[in-house]
Every structure is written in structure tokens, then in C-alpha cells.
Structure 1
Amino acid sequence: MWLYATLMFVALVLSLVYGLTLVPTVTWAHQAGDSGDLLTAVATGGVPHPTGYPSYLLLVDAFRWLPWGDLALQQALFSALCAIATALLVVLLVNALTPVQGWRAAFAGGFAALWLGFTPLFWSQAVVVEVYSLHALFTALLWWWAVVLTPTPTLRKEFRSARPAWRVVLAQQWATPRLAGLTAGLALGNHLTVAASVAALLLLLVWRYFAQRLSRGRNASDGSHPPTPL
């Protein structure tokens, strides 16, 4: 209950603040010098400056079909939604990594998310046409997959109490690495600086693979059954 209430509170607060401060046109303020370039690429179906940002162009193109606002406002709205989603992932990450639970974990997650959401640099990129809010979202997603791949006791508890459909998805050993790989590919298509996080996730996947093989070998030698995922 505390977790869901915190997620709703963070989403409402950031939606209100970002909505009131959203930049509805092309601007060179807030380090958004690429906004005109990105807007032109979306409007004409072209390619902006290298590296081209294909993931950003594919995702933001869906916002062109909103029935209100011009293209600049629609793309700025996309940035705001990516920033809000990033903050919500921060709530989940803190909740999964915090040894205590209940209102204290929810408060810690909400505080961390709002602190991030209101930092000047993050806030400035959340209200303009730029690729960095999506970059932050992909980075948070990569670290969420890292937590799922190496679950803490808190996450195991959340997993056991999750809805059956989610348990079926996350329990499949093939599902999580592939979803993590999909996230990594899309992230690299948005901004190459995410390569550091992708490399860390790749090392984690390699470690998990060899750890599972070692565990299976030990279980086979003593006749026991392999552990259940999560």
C-alpha cells in the first residue's frame, strides 16, 4: 500500500510541476540547443546530427498523433513523461534495495525520486525537446533489470506477492535477460553514453550464466533439484 501511494504521489507532483513549466516551443535555454534539429527530423522524417538517435525518433513519433498541441509541445511532453517514468523507477529501485520495508522504504524511495526530479539539470531536460530524459529512463531501466537479475530478499518478497501473470513472466529464466537485452539495444540507439551501463549489465549476465551453470553442476552431483528462480 505504501509503495503504490508513493508512486502515485510522485507521479502527481512531478506531472503538475513539469506541466506548469513545460517549454511549448523551440528553445536554446536549458542546454536544449538540439531541439530545433530534433524537431525538424521528426517533422520531415529525416535524421538529426550524429549519432542520429533512432530510438528517440521512433518513440517520439507516436506523440505526433496527439489531437492537440504542435510538434514542439508534443515532443516536450514526451520528455516530461520519460522523466516521470524515470522517477517512478527510482522509487522501485530504492524499495527493492532497502532492507527495511513499509512506510520507511516508501518514504526513502519517494524522497530519492523527488530529489532527482527537482534537481536543476534533470528538471531542465524534462521540460524541453531533448533526448536526455529518455536516456535517463533507459539507464534506470537497465539498473532495474540488474536488480531483477540479482534479486534482493525484498524483491523476492515482492515477487512472491505479485500477481500470478507477473510471476509467470519473471520466473522464466529466458525472459528477463532478453528483456534486458532489448532495453540495452534501444538505449544504445538513443545515446551512446549508456554503453557504460550496458557493459555493466552484460558482465552481470555473464556472471549469472556461469553461476547458474555452477549451481546446476553442484545440484547434479548431490542429486538435489535446481533452485527455483527468484
Structure 2
Amino acid sequence: MNLKPILVRLQNAIGRDDLIDQMVLISVPETPFSAQAQSAKSINLIVGYNSSPNSHTALDIALLIAHQTRLATKAQVTVQVVYVIEENQRSHRGDVLQREKFVSQHVAEQNPSQYSTGFSLIEFDTSVTTQPKMQDNAAGSQEILVDKFAQAECILRQASCLAAEWKSSFKAHLRFGCIAKELRKVVKLEAANLLLLGCNSVNHPIVQQLGSNFPCSVLGIPNFVNEKCV
């Protein structure tokens, strides 16, 4: 995806002329084939989101980019947020839960490692099968896991409400595992054109973990956002 017109429109909207230098974390050159294909398909913007102020800023920027792109190109632009419950937060989930079922009007695929919605209420039902000696630990672990899902629902709903204010096409993903790996998976799955993160340095651990051969360009948030918060 050609970043220059996107960032020029963004600069004009907020009255800055230095966003290209500040925001581009990973730049993937656009090939003639990808440029031609882009004109015939929808545009997908992915946002790494965890409800932090910086990730909220990244989502704000993505929604503004989507709005500007729709006006400029008439293309269908979808903003998708990805919230990852990291592996070490799952409380030995593999030892405790034998079955998980997530119910939604827009379930993309029934895979316990991921959940996508367009966005409707996330409902979940957990069934536990344990050995007798594991029952006490299982009950505690299940309670922790249910709390994580409740927190995830609140976070994704917050993002959904913001997207609704922009009247933007929206999709949410709940994933489990390593943040960088899960972001890469969603980017590939959705054939994403751009990933936005709530960080402002190529030295950020997540950016470093994405690697240099990432499938699409990556934008961070401008430095002046943090300067205003000081």
C-alpha cells in the first residue's frame, strides 16, 4: 500500500508536515502487481489494540485514515482491531479447559486460538473436565480465564463504540499467544494493507519481533502525541 498519499492527507488534516518521519516503523515497497490488485479490492487496516492511551490513539488514527481514504478513493475500507491475551496470562488453560465455545452472529472460524466478530456481544461458555485432584485448581483457573474474557469483551466493545462514532466498517479479533506472532497471523489472514501500533519507535519490542519481512507496512503514533501528555 502506498503510504505517501495516506500520510499527506493525514498531515493536512492535523496541520503537521513531519508524520512520514515520525510514524513509519516498517515500510513495505509497493509492487506494480500489488498496486493494480489494490484498486480492485477492499482495504483492510489492522490495529493492535489493548485499550491503553497509545493504542487508543492508534485506533483514532486508523479511523481517520479510513474516513479520508473512503472519501478520496471511494474504496471499501475496514478497520480491524486485534486484542491478544498473551500466553502467560492464560493460567495453564490447556490443562484446565477441554472445550470452549464462543457464540456470535459473525464468527469467522471456530478455532479456540482466535475469535473474530463484526462486532456483536461476545458470549462464551466454558466447560471443564478435570481429574478429581485438579478440581480446586481448575475452578480457580477457570475463574481467572472467565475474567480475562470479560476484560477482553470490554476492551473490544470500547473499540467498537469508537468505530461506530466514525460510521466505519469494523471487525474485532481476540487472539491468544505472542502479540507479534498473532498480529502477523491476522495480517496474513485478512490480507491487510496496513498495521497500526500504539508505539513510536522501531526499537519497540513488538516492532522488533515483527521482523523485517513483515507482509505490510507498519505505522506507529507520532512523537508529539506523547509530548502533549507530558
Global fold match (TM > 0.5):
no
Q: Where is the strand percentage greater, Structure 1 or Structure 2?
A: 2
Q: Where is the helix percentage greater, Structure 1 or Structure 2?
A: 1
Structure with bigger gyration radius: 1
TM-score with structure 2 length normalisation?
0.25
Higher relative contact order (CA 8 A, sep 6+): 2
